[in-house]
Structure 1
Amino acid sequence: MLKNFFNVTFRSILKHKFYSFINILGLSIGITCFLMITLYVQDELSYDKHLPAIERLHRLDFTGTVGGNAFVTSLSSVPAAPAILNDYPEVEAAVRVRERGNELIKPEGQIQIFNEQRLLLADSNIFNFFQIPLLEGDASTALAGPKKIALNATTAKKYFGAEPAVGKTVELQGWDKFEVTAVFEDMPHNQHFHADVLLSIMSTSEARQTAWIGGFNFVTYLKLKQGASAEALEAKFPDMVAKYMGPEVRKHMGQSMEEFLEAGGRLGYTLYPVKDIHLTSNKLGELEANSDITYVYLFSVIAFFILVIACINFMNLSTARSANRAKEVGVRKVLGAQRPLIIRQFLAEALILSFLSFMLAYGLCFLLLPSFNTSAEKQLAISALLTPGFIITILGLIIAVGLLAGSYPAFYLSGFKPVEVLKGKLNLGMKSGAIRSFLVVFQFTLSIIMIVGTMVIYDQLNFIRSKKLGYQKDHLIIINDPWLLKDNLNAFKKEVLQNSSIVSGTVSSFLPVNGNTNNNLYFKGKNPQNDSHIVNDWRVDQDYVPTFGIEIKAGRNFSREFPSDSSAIVVNEAFVSQFGFENPIGEFISTQGDDEDGTSVVSYKIIGVMGDFHYASLRESIYPLMMKLESSRGYITFKVAGDNIDQTITTLKSTWEQFGPGQPFSYNFIDQQFEEVHKSEMRIGSIFMVFASLAVFIACLGLFGLAAFTAEQRNKEIGVRKVLGASVSSIMGLLSWEFVKLIGISFIIAAPTAYFAVGKWLDNFAYRTELSLVTIFIAGLLSLAVAWLTMSFQTWRAARANPVNSLRSE
């Protein structure tokens, strides 16, 4: 019996090659998209789930409102962790981590210097806290003490080859020699932070700070004891804040904690589950850029839409083709076939076609996954599709799709009376046509929604690229690690500026593209009792503003002609608005000094107001910013004239080698850094557009097959109309009108749904393109045009056919 099912199925495939090809191709492409998106979503949801006791791990976040300026950060002050461990017995362990940035490391006995980008300062218990496996060294002592360093397996091999790394030393440029005390396994990709190098937190003086207000530079993690409640612990934090921060509020702001709270201020700590960080946390001070749960929902919906569209195509063509098999059913019944056998035959055929499509989809996944990994910047493995749970799910889908596709011919056609079928009295048009019409409307509704989404995402990405940022990002070259030049830094800058291709240059600690912050508390005037606000505080030189082309709206920029500018600042418009200055030039703002009793005040005079410029993602509003004149060694940025960039870079490198012989030279461009800030949106947008295009293609593939089938079914009608004088254009219009009506209905349903959905996505951006009804209308016209072009070939061919061929048997 099973052999007979297979024989009949493959004969049907070979007899109707065109429809079988479209059916299997459309379904396999849809399943391929579904499988790859499923891998992507699974990977996103798997972040940090491998960590032991993940349900008990929380990050200590700090939130506050000072002077009406609210802020939320993933950072906490240095003494918070030991105080919580001491005061709250429900906390089992705590560990602090501090992002260090990049470091140049020279291994013992080697000439080569390595630029390490992923380096963290950490408490000595980090290995036990996160259960990081060690390949060499002792977890309890590895980072217990200053000048100790741990390397991951890849970095240790890079430095020392196959030799043991523990016991060797490395030199951190600008720091000192560190002893390698451990080698740990590379951290898995699905973890919310990564480190190639871990340094003992005791190697920095920051770890010995005692202030609770200020110095928010450490990410603190807590592990609660078994059965402890995070909500109950968090409810106790206000008492901790009053106990430890209250005295500092009085010292710095001249008011008690009660008075501070009554005035609308707020200071507090909260617990954030580690398992939720990757998808739901986007706070100041994140160790790495996280993803967004919105994208998980978005891609899950896309996967569902694509699979539904592909299945609809499969069912549409299956039900359409079933009409041609009515006489086959009649003959089978005349020859003695019972209805249950016919039902099983049709269901078996649909299941076999479904299975073939799934097998082809798996093969396509193997071929396309490397390219998808590159585009999505993922490390997805095809092995995830071969797990027992996933295979059971796929088998369920195969059966579900097969049963849905085969249910109409199996249960409807099998009930026909052989006499009526063989006499040609059977009329299938109304019922089967209604089913196909509903399915076409449904799949094109989904397609139009995805077309609208694609157009809006493209507009938003183009908006990001073309947005006037308030500074010039073109022709700006960043030279990294200028501190390597030591005392020759200024001489290097001066020499480079002699080159005619260099317009200007600036040395600074901050760039308007990397989202770096240096938040401090400042108050209006010189009295600590005045309104206070959190301000982003940058250290720059006199050439920063002109090099980046930032507009001065009022006052002036820093100048070497004014020695008093050492105590002056230039602020942005958001700063002026935050402090409520009507005429800010000449006004003062101040902050507490560094003296032990905290009574001194450091004041700065406002000499200029810059136009607001974007120095973070366009998802964020522009926050108050001040620049003060202070030497720094973070970056050198040069503005280049002309297009001969390669020659300019060669000149910069040779000049660098002249002033810093043997020191590594590295550079990049501001516009590249800008792209990096918005890389997540760019990447997600590109992937969405690819899958949306495939969804539309699958829908059109089904429409192409249906148009061909409709033309075939109405072959004699077309012949009669041509004999009676109908033109090719009128016949094409007749055949197309049925589908055009259905697409019009789809547009009416899809338009409000798409408008609401993409509007919610755009709400994630502080600066966004406008969602226009014109975009919705264009999407409808585009879907109609694509659908008509899809049908036009089949309808044109049917309209051009010789009527003799269709009527000669009548």
Structure 2
Amino acid sequence: MFLNYLKIAWRTLRKQQGFTFINIFGLAVGLACCMLIMLYVLDELSFDRYNAKADRIYRIQSDIKFGGNDMHFAVSPDPMGETLKKDYPQVEQFVRLHQRGTWSVKRAGETTNLREDNITFADSTLFDVFTLPLVSGDPKRALAEPNTVVISESAAKRYFGNQNPMGQALVFDNNRTFKVSGVMRDMPQNSHFHSDFFLSMLNDDYQWGQWLSHNHHTYLLLKPGTNPTAFARNFDTVVKKYIGPKVMQFTGSSLEKFSKAGNQLSYWLIPLTDIHLHSKQQIELAPNSDSQYIYIFSAVALFILLIACINFMNLSTARSANRAKEVGVRKVMGSERQQLIGQFMTESILTTVLAMLLALVIVAIALPGFNKISAKSLSSAQLVSSHYLPFLIALPILVGLLAGSYPAILLSSFKPISVLKGRINVSFKSAGLRSGLVVFQFAMSVVLIVGTIIVYRQITYIQTKNLGFSREQLLTINNTYSIGNQAETFKQEILRLPGVVSGSTSGFLPTPSERTDCAFFAEGQSDGNKSVHMQAWSIDYDYVKTMGMQIVQGRNLSKAFGSDSSGIILNETAARTLGYSNPIGKRIWRFEDAQLQVRKLYTIVGIVKNFHFESLRRNIGALSMILQPNSGAITFRLSSAHITDLVPQIEAKWKQMAPGQPFSYQFMDDSFDEMYRAEQRVGTIALTFAALAILIACLGLFGLAAFMAEQRTKEIGVRKVLGASVPSIIGLLSKDFLKLVLIAILIASPIAWYAMSRWLNDFAYKIDIEWWMFALAGLLAVGIALLTVSFQSVKAALMNPVKSLRSE
């Protein structure tokens, strides 16, 4: 019986080639979009799950409110992990990671360095907590001794080729030699942090035991059966016992007074598998994603699939008049309703299976481009893995059942006597369900169009907003500390080149970077009443000028004032937090050592206009700038006419003065744009899928318009004979669809407003959602619908009425 169903279904599909093409192509595009988004979503959800003990690993998060700042860190004090393991038996193990950014690395005995990112110091317990298999070395002892390093297989090949790297030496920053004590497999892509080099924590240049400094990412491995929520309550005890005395020493007040003054110092645990999508803390090991994008893309996939299914249902029910007599004849010949439903469901599933095969081809073709847009490394081979294959088999069957159920029930319900006498009414106007489905299709399309418009408007706003400094024509040479005391000489040599306007040496740049803050107090104060918790940037005399910043009160740091070695510039936020009506000449102090013994006074000499040095998702925080040597980077302001010629000249000078050191540079506007790559990717993906959703909806609309015109052929002929003009007939055939699209716009607008308002809430600086965005989306939807319907309407209106009325 099933083979008979299949044979008849195949013949029917071949007979109705136009209908079959629209259905299969529309379903294929919908299924392909669904599979691409499924690959993306499942990859996002898989982060850190490769760890065998992932369900027991938690990271300590810090929430601090002090000195006018409300801070949320992914780091905690360095003694925290060890103390928790010592005091609480629920902690099986802990590990700390301390990322040290970009270093120059070379093999011992060689002169050429390579630039390596994300050099990380780690405790010897790293391999007890995380699943990072070693191909060489003992995980228990790999980082237990000083001057040891564990490298990835990729790094081993990069530096040692086919030689055995075990026991070989690598030199970091030209002066620190580490012995390779282990080689690990490359870390999986779906990890919230990556590193090719783990150095022994015993070599981290750090003043240990700082309960008030937050610089280490600390992970706890809890024993099986431990309730993490209950365990986290122990942080209150830890704060009172260990941090309270330090707060007293730091501020001169008890922890109770500290809290009553509106300050906060609290800690909590986040599961390892939640970090990538749910952690929005500062000082992450790498940029995280956002769970809202998972919900958005999942909803988009569902909507596109539903739109494709709706097309199938609409076209099938619209064809019911053509198949009514077939149903009547089958029933007269003895077919029961269940058999007819089976026949029509077989056609539906066959259509979706064919669409799935075409969808797999589309996915294979589209995946490289999708990977580029989404910054992923997804493979079509994943679709046939054990995790995806059951879903891949079930998807066409489920879609076939969903899309084909209503048409099958409708068609099988026709009364044989009525249909054979031509009494069945299947006019377009009476098809309420079809109208509702068209409204749903275009409502979802309008939501996607509005979302795309708002995302691109926000990105444009970010890229054109006045940041408080001039980021254009700023070229930063990275890692200039590698040339030691020649950094200043290199700077002066470059300043002599034509087209170089100015230059400044500093490792602190007005682009987002993970930097720690420190507390400053007003002179004579230590209780937090007149204090500010802020970043302290080490700069030189030319920094403010080179960056194009504006001094709004006082003056810049200057060589003309010998006392400026203890001078300080604050931004407007810091000055406002301190509460001074006239801050110039006032003095503030901070502790200069980890033991909280040495204080240094600074005199406020100037106030710089607020500028953005973090993401526009955050308000401008407090910041200070002091004179202090820091040769981490040198930034030059170039004239626009010489940029192309200057970069090769600067590189040549670098190679002359720093042979063997990697030359690395970046334009500041590129660094700034890098922050919003995620938003740009979301905008591009949203635009792509919005276009595809509209394409699928229009395919269905095109098919419906064709069937409507076919059903009304004789009516149109009569109207033309009675004198109706072509434009009036086009209007008659189009107005029903336009009504549906207008209803869709009215339904979609509040949904789009709510969804995009939620998205924009993540930005401290954002656009306003304006009426014209919805009007533009509506005009686009109406225009697309008109174009889709007009072809069939014009064709029907131009038809010779003699042909349509010949049989009357």
TM-score normalised per structure 1? 0.97
In structure 2, the partner of 1:218 is 216
Structure 1 contact 518–538 (Cα < 8 Å) conserved: no
Q: Deviations over 1:308-362 (max 9, x none)?
A: 1111111111111222111222233344434333222112111111111112112
Q: 1:644 to 1:436 in 2, by over 3 A?
A: same
Tell me by how many angstroms 1:401 deviates: 2.6
- 1:518-537 maps to which residues of 2 (within 5 A)? 518-529=516-527, 530-537=529-536
> Partners of 2:45 and 2:735 in 1: how far apart?
45
Deviation at 1:430, TM superposition (A): 6.6
Stretch of structure 1 that moved more, 366-375 or 140-149: 366-375
Q: CA deviation at 1:431?
A: 8.6
Q: Answer with 570-579 or 30-39: which moved more.
A: 570-579
What's the counterpart of residue 539 of structure 1? 538
CA distances 1:482-541 after superposition (whole Å, capped 9, x unpaired): 112222211111111112211111111111113332300111234324433211111111
**What is aligned with 1:106?**
106
Counterpart check, 1:187 vs 2:187 = yes
Q: Does 1:744 align with 2:721?
A: no
> What is residue 82 of structure 2 aligned with on the other side?
82
Q: Letter of the 1:77 partner, please give it.
A: P
Counterparts of 1:595 and 1:42, CA distance in 2: 45
Equivalent position of 2:803 in the other structure: 805
In structure 1, distance between residues paired with 2:493 and 2:297:
52
Decide whether the 8 Å contact of 2:69 with 2:621 is kept in 1: no
State the SS of the aligned residue for 1:205. coil
Change over 3 Å in CA distance of 1:407–1:242 after alignment to 2: closer
Task: Decide whether the 8 Å contact of 1:145 with 1:203 is kept in 2.
Answer: no
Which residue matches 2:41? 41
SS of 2:51's partner is: coil
3-state SS, counterpart of residue 629 of structure 2? coil
SS in 1 for 2:646: helix
Q: How does 1:601-640 map to 2 (within 5 A)?
A: 601-640=599-638
Distance in 2 (alpha carbons) for counterparts of 1:176 and 1:412: 78
The superposition leaves residues 225-279 of structure 1 with CA deviations (integer Å, 9 ceiling, x where unpaired) of 1222222222122221122122222222111222222222222222221111110
Cα separation, 2, equivalents of 1:765 and 1:660 = 42
Task: Report deviation, 1:159.
Answer: 0.9
Shift in Å, 1:778: 2.0
Equivalent position amino acid for 1:243 in 2? K
Preserved CA contact (<8 Å) 2:146 2:202: yes
Partner of 1:177: 177
Structure 2 counterpart of 1:129: 129
* Paired AA for residue 313 in structure 1: N
Tell me how far 1:704 sits from its aligned partner: 1.3
Aligned partners of 2:254 and 2:665: how far apart in 1?
A: 50
Could you tell me which amino acid in structure 2 is paired with residue 359 of structure 1?
L
AA of the residue aligned to 2:416: P
Contact map agreement 1:61 1:72 (CA 8 A) in 2: yes
Distance 2:327 2:597 in 1: 97
1:714-793 maps to which residues of 2 (within 5 A)? Answer: 714-793=712-791
CA spacing shift, 1:249–1:343, aligned 2, 3 Å: closer
- For the 8 Å contact 2:27–2:355, the answer to whether it is kept is yes
Q: Deviations over 1:281-314 (max 9, x none)?
A: 1211110110001111111111111111111111
Residue 473 (structure 2) aligned to one of 453, 465, 475: 475
Would the alpha carbon gap of residues 775 and 248 (structure 1) be closer, same or farther in structure 2, given more than 3 Å must change?
A: same
Contact 2:67 2:577 in 1 (8 A): no
Structure 1 counterpart SS, 2:319: helix
CA distance 1:71–1:146, change in 2 (3 Å): same
Closer/same/farther in 2, CA of residues 388 and 142 from structure 1, 3 Å limit: closer
Query: Does the C-alpha gap of structure 1 residues 141 and 731 become closer, same or farther in structure 2, counting only changes over 3 Å?
Result: same
Map 1:459-538 → 2, pairs under 5 A: 459-529=457-527, 530-538=529-537
- Which residue in 2 is equivalent to 1:300? 298
Trace 1:262-277 onto structure 2 (pairs within 5 A). 262-277=260-275
The structural deviation recorded for 1:727 is: 0.9
Q: Counterpart amino acid of 2:569?
A: V
How far apart are the structure 2 equivalents of 1:187 and 1:150? 12
Q: Which residue of 1 aligns with 2:316?
A: 318
Partner of 1:92: 92
1:281 is matched with which residue?
279
1:455 aligned partner: 453
**Deviation (angstroms), 1:57:** 0.9
Is contact 1:542-1:558 (8 Å) kept? Answer: yes
Matched residue type, 2:149: I
Is residue 510–residue 516 contact of structure 1 (8 Å, CA) maintained in 2? no
Q: What's the CA shift string for 1:96-123, capped at 9, x where partnerless? A: 1001111111113444321111211000
* Deviation sequence 1:546-604 (CA, Å, 0-9, x none): 111112212111112112111111111111222122222222221123385x3442111
Answer yes or no: is the 8 Å Cα contact 2:317–2:410 preserved in 1. Answer: no
3-state SS in 1 of match to 2:105 = strand
Distance 2:211 2:574 in 1: 25
Q: Aligned pairs, how many? A: 807
Report the counterpart of residue 377 of structure 2 in structure 1: 379
Indicate the SS of the match to 1:643. Answer: helix
Is the Cα contact below 8 Å between 1:480 and 1:636 reproduced in 2?
yes
Counterpart check, 1:566 vs 2:596:
no
Gaps of 5+ in 1: none
For 1:27 and 1:779, locate their aligned partners in 2 and report how far apart those are by CA, in whole Å. 25
Q: 1-side partners of 2:149 and 2:388: how far apart?
A: 42
CA contact (8 A) 1:319 1:405 kept: no
- Mapping 1:29-428, distance limit 5 Å: 29-206=29-206, 208-214=207-213, 216-388=214-386, 390-428=388-426
2:579 counterpart residue number: 580
SS at match of 2:640: coil
Structure 1 residues 124 and 238: CA distance shift in structure 2, 3 A: same
Query: Offset of 1:395 from its aligned partner?
Result: 3.8
Which residues of 2 match residues 591-602 of structure 1 at below 5 A? 591-594=590-593, 598-602=596-600
Provide the C-alpha distance between the structure 2 equivalents of 1:769 and 1:641, rounded to a whole number of angstroms. Answer: 32
Once the 2 structures are TM-superposed, how far is the Cα of residue 432 of structure 1 from its aligned partner? 6.3
In 2, Cα distance between equivalents of 1:599 and 1:400: 70
Query: Equivalent residue for 1:6?
Result: 6
Partner of 2:554: 555
Whether the 8 Å CA contact 2:313–2:407 is kept in 1: the answer is no
Cα distance, 1:375 vs. partner? Answer: 1.4
Amino acid at match of 2:395: L
What SS does the aligned partner of 1:412 have?
helix
**1:657 counterpart residue number:** 655
- Alpha-carbon distance in structure 1 between the residues aligned to 2:321 and 2:398: 22
Q: Retained in 1: the 8 A contact 2:50–2:131?
A: no
What is the one-letter code of the residue matched to 2:296?
A: L
* Distance in structure 2 (CA, Å) of the matches to 1:638 and 1:464: 24
Distance, in Å, in 2 between the alignment partners of 1:691 and 1:146 is 53
Report the more deviating stretch, 302-311 or 327-336: 327-336
Q: Residues of 2 paired with 1:71 and 1:414: CA distance? A: 65
SS in 1 for 2:212: coil
Alignment partners' CA distance in 2, 1:407 and 1:266: 59
Give the drift of 1:641: 0.4
Q: Is the 8 A contact 1:93 1:222 kept in 2?
A: yes
Contact 2:468 2:611 in 1 (8 A): yes
Matched, 1:646 2:641: no
Q: Report the CA distance between 1:388 and its aligned residue.
A: 4.6
Q: How far 1:408 sits from its partner (Å)? A: 3.6
Aligned to 1:429, the other structure's residue is in SS state coil
Note if contact 1:515-1:617 (Cα within 8 Å) is conserved in structure 2: no
Q: CA deviation at 1:397?
A: 3.4
CA distance in 2, matches of 1:221, 1:417: 70
Conservation of the 8 A alpha-carbon contact between 1:508 and 1:540: yes
